[in-house]
Amino acid sequence: MSRSEQKLQTRQRILEGAGRGFRKAGFGGIGVDGLAKEAGLTSGAFYVHFDSKAHAFRESVAQGMAELRGGVLYFQEKHGRAWWPEFVRFYLSAKRTCDLSESCTLQTMPAEVARSDEASRTTFEEALRAVAQAIVDGPASPSAPRDMGAACAALSSLAGAVTLARAIGSSAFADQIAAGMEQALLGVPDEKSRSKPPEGDL
DSSP for residue 167: T
Distance CA 18, CA 37 (A): 9
- 96 half-sphere exposure, CB direction, 13 A CA radius: 29
Continuous segment of H or E residues that includes residue 40: none
Burial 153-167 (b: 16+ CB within 10 A, else e): ebbeebbebbbebbe
Q: Give the CA distances from residue 183 to residues 112, 177, 178, 194, in Å, rounded to whole numbers and listed in that order.
A: 29, 10, 9, 10
Amino acid, res. 119: A
Amino acid, res. 105: T
Output the pLDDT for position 193.
41
Is residue 199 within 8 A of residue 172, CB to CB? The reply is no
Closest CA to 72 of 12, 129, 121: 129
Fold of 58-194: Tetracycline Repressor; domain 2 (1.10.357)
Output the pLDDT for position 195.
41
Q: How would you write the pLDDT of the chain (202 residues) with one tens digit per residue?
A: 788 888 899 999 999 999 999 999 999 999 999 999 999 999 999 999 999 999 999 999 999 999 999 999 999 999 999 999 999 999 999 999 999 999 999 999 999 999 999 999 999 999 999 999 999 999 999 999 999 999 999 999 999 999 999 999 999 999 999 999 999 999 965 454 444 443 443 3
Amino acid, res. 114: A
Backbone angles phi, psi at 150, to 5 degrees: -65, -40
User: Taking the domains of the chain in order of start, what are their residue ranges?
Assistant: 58-194
- 99 half-sphere exposure, CB direction, 13 A CA radius: 8
